Chain A
Amino acid sequence: MRLYRDLTIRQKQIVWAWAFLAIPIVFYTVIRFYPTGNAILISFQDWNLLGARTWTGLDNYTTLVSDPVFWQVFRNTFVYLLLGTPVSLVISFVIAYHLDKTRFMHGFLRMLYFLPFMTSAVAMAWVWRWFYQPVPIGLFNNALASVGIPQISFLNSTTNALPAILAPAVWAGLGFQIIIFMAGLRAIPRSYYEAARIDGVSTWAVLWEITLPLLKPTIVFIVVFSSIGFLRIFDHVFNMTTNNPGGPLNSTKPLVLMIYQTAFSSFDMGYAAAQTVVLFLVLLAVSLLQLRILRDR
């Protein structure tokens, strides 16, 4: 232990840091990094899971780039991101902000908003799919019909299907974001608000000048995490389009669904691995970009 005591404070910090990180790093390496490296390797091979593997170099990638379905899927994935993240961010913040200021039956309301997040995704997908059905079964179309508006084809339309599927995904995720926001709001010291009240600052200004800036770490977390979530969307799409996955005509298919089908329907592991690598790079790029932008401000 003489050696340890002789270290500078700075160096002791480093020792402690790595000591804390030791087991987790081993864990992540074995459970995540090694299999990921394996997946990258497979992307340069041809493997149908049951037979031998053969090297094919960049073949999988060139096939990918020239596959029109891939580009549509790529576009879909970004639409999920660009629609989903801002909408859910704003809605969940507004709700969390007001919920925070409410006293009466606060716990009950909070539970109502969180319930969708806790419920089985499969069950909810089925219910929403039924909501979207045409007359005489679908709730939404029945409502429209009762006020004389012609019915809308939600899931059977190549233009409406994606937003129609995004809606329950956003709906389910709201509870999660609301809770995180509330935890963040609660972490802001009351003294700031007290000082503002004494100075006679308006509620709006308090929101913009005090609350939001202090919520920055929370916002960063939610933006990055929900972006990753929307880019990786799978369960909701799969559960709502079970009979015609990613349909109609690939208009709702995100990248992860394409990977899943390639791997477990077509058993083309090499091709699926190549798609996974692409997804990984996209996610990495988007996340790093967001972290960079949100940090500099």
Chain B
Amino acid sequence: MAVAEELRPTSDALLKSKAQRRPANLGQFVRWGLLFAGGILMVMPIAYMISTSLKWPHEIYNLKLIPDEPTIENYTYVLEDGRFFWWFVNSLVIATVTTVSNVLFDSLVGYTLCKFRFPGRYIVFIAILSTLMIPTEMLVIPWYLMSQQFGWLDTYWGIMFPGLMTAFGTFLMKQFFETVPDDFIEAARIDGLNELQIWWTVAMPLVKPALAALAIFVFLGNWTAFIWPLIVTNSVEMYTLPVGLSSFGDEADVAWELIMTGAAISTLPTLVVFLIFQRFIIRGVVMAGLKG
């Protein structure tokens, strides 16, 4: 009989109550202080990025944190550009769809590679892992030829298709499914659930932290993708945000203050996605009293 596995209750309320039970000691304080200092160091470069976005072009090379003549001119310039709205929407659609696709398919494949025994299992795993080993720069040409042949150029599908499933996500999910005890799966099988139901209702909830992490990374990766969207799009309205923002520079000159502004603006949606999903990482799973 399996022990009642009480997985860590990690909702914030419980955390707070735990904190109240333990008096704060010096060690905790020092730890917090160091982490905070470290955190500030981590975001220094970003502070400079934002500061540059608030500067006039002639000031951007003096690396002062507070500009002598702050201005929001760069922001108005970028945001008033009518195309900006489309770039934003395109990126949002593509990042969202690929995230959903990855969360579904990568976990399905990861789960299968982890919990099923079948001939060819290791080979499939290594084969999928090996797709990480070819730089995408080399795949861009064949993808383009393919898109051109099937009429996917300049379409959402054309931009999205290479990223719908990734070896990264599959590998991540496989590792996390390893932490799901086989007993649970067996128990569900005995209870008469079919494999698909087991995956969806039993295994998936147990790896929510990993799914949340996966969602964040896939969203981020697709939000910032540049080379492939650049190549597959033709019309300005189809550009994704990174591609559109890069048009603020040409062969002779790059308007760094505008690039910084664009970067600052692009960070906002990813920040939102992060803030939404990170709670799942810490919340984990509360599964009280599951008996075997």
A residues apposed to B, CB below 8 Å: 10, 13-14, 16-18, 20-21, 23-25, 27-28, 30-36, 38-39, 49, 95, 98-99, 101-104, 106-107, 109-124, 126-128, 130-131, 137-139, 168, 171, 174-176, 179-180, 182-184, 186-191, 217-218, 220-221, 224-225, 228, 232, 234, 256, 259-260, 263-264, 269, 272-273, 276, 279-280, 283-284, 287-288
Contact = CB atoms under 8 A, between A and B. Distances in A.
B213 A180 contact: yes
B178 interface: yes
Given A111-B275, A116-B45, A20 B129 contact: no
B142 A186 contact: no
Nearest to B131: A32
Contact of A137 (B61, B139, B278): B61
Contacts of A95: 35, 38
Interface stretch (B74-82, B87-95, B108-116, B232-240): B108-116
Given A16-B195, A32-B134, A225-B168, A123 B61 contact: no
Interface string B22-58: 0000001001101110111011011011001000000
18 contacts: A17-B118, A18-B118, A24-B105, A24-B109, A24-B165, A31-B143, A31-B162, A32-B134, A35-B139, A35-B143, A107-B282, A120-B259, A124-B45, A217-B176, A225-B171, A232-B135, A259-B138, A288-B126
Given A39-B139, A122-B263, 19 more contacts: A18-B118, A20-B195, A23-B105, A28-B131, A28-B165, A35-B142, A112-B39, A115-B42, A115-B271, A123-B49, A124-B45, A182-B281, A187-B179, A189-B5, A217-B179, A225-B172, A264-B137, A269-B141, A280-B130
Nearest to B246: A122
Given A13-B118, A221-B171, A123 B259 contact: yes
B135 A259 contact: yes
A34 B267 CA distance: 35
B158 to A, nearest CB: 12
Contact of B142 (A38, A117, A126, A138): A38
Contacts of B187: none
Given A14-B118, A137-B61, A280-B133, A118 B270 contact: yes
B210 interface: yes
B14 to A, nearest CB: 10
Interface residues of B, number: 100
Interface string B140-171: 01110010000000000000011011001011
Nearest to B143: A35
B64 to A, nearest CB: 10
